[in-house]
Structure 1
Amino acid sequence: MFCSPQIVATRPAIRSGGFTPTTLDAASVSNATLSNGNLTATRSNTSTGGAQSISYKSAGRFYFEVTVGASHGSTDTIGIMASTYGYFPLINGNTGAGSGIWLSNGNIMNNGGNVGNIGAANAGGSIIRVAHDAVAGKAWYALNGGSWDNNGTHDPATNAGGITLIAAQYAPVVAFSQYGSPTVGDNLTANFGAAAFVYAVPSGFTAGWSA
């Protein structure tokens, strides 16, 4: 069941140099509300829900961060999804062109399979770092200041390691699970480049995800 999209979406900020960061898309929202310039998604009931950006990338290298306000669903997720799938396969652990982090246990999910672990990331204030190389078809994830993919040899700046993706175009998603102890008010806030990042952007990557 989808909640009604916001009628008026906040215009993304334009950074110096002509960079316009994306936001979460009001038309994509289900069982959640958007605020904070369409960067914060807040769970409105205990069914599966979330939101995604409509800015799909097939070229370029991009970095963004998502801060956990509160998360209680066992497969609440931060990640990227291909345009034809949305975030439901990623939450449910089903095969589908999606990659991301299950916050409760830190599992790195890709195309329905567990391909690594960065440690439990559902504590309030946790920051998930995401680097996506659309040309190489890879993604890297890190929790707070930890190693990429919790592996000291992985580095998006040198194309070392990373998660190999199965589709050509991906966009950011934040999603709430129906499993575990889903709690109304759980929330996730994305930074796609409208504000300064907490952690260093990998060399060669755009500081944000453009609209």
Structure 2
Amino acid sequence: MTTEDVIAIRVPTPFAVGDVIVYLVKGDALTLIDAGPNTKEAARALQEQLAAVNVKLSDIEQVVLTHHHADHAGLLDVFSDEIEVIGHAFNEPYISQNQAFMDWQKRFFQKLLPELGVPFDTGKAEKLIRSAYAFSCTRSLTKSIREGMGIDGLEGWSVLEMPGHAESHIVLFHEKSGRMLGGDLLLANSSSNPILEAPKAGDVRSKP
């Protein structure tokens, strides 16, 4: 694994945090680590920077998600249905916009936020949920991964679960070279923003 095998691509976002970095990994399978938000500007930036290294969107064989947030998963919608979409199982209800899960999130936050002293009503709950998905995708995982697993086509890289910023958060670690692709585990100009999430089952949420 050489420096040239991993290419950082800077993609603009509509969020205050600024650009997101996704990675093109030239392994046995041409792999994109994260995709960027679902905006025309992000799609154009991704395509232009891929073209600069002679890669088209249609050349990408798989996308590995570090986590489900819209600025990392939204552009999944520009890829063909044949592409492999790989990530932790906790990504699924978010990136597929599962309606039952979205309704459950709304009920959960309607209950939680007043308990934290935040005035909240049904309209605000619906707006909060909609805003979280404004630049996201409607896709499904084709393969789920967990701690210690490898990924086909990415020889030498292994999965480490790093929940906190998101329950679905993973990093990819290449032990031989000591390199790690960390999603939002580390951010240049701010903390990594632990985000409250509705529990997948029951009433007790995991603590960021």
Bigger CA radius of gyration: 2
**Higher-RCO chain (CA-CA 8 Å, sequence separation at least 6):** 1
More strand, by proportion? 1
More helix, by proportion? 2
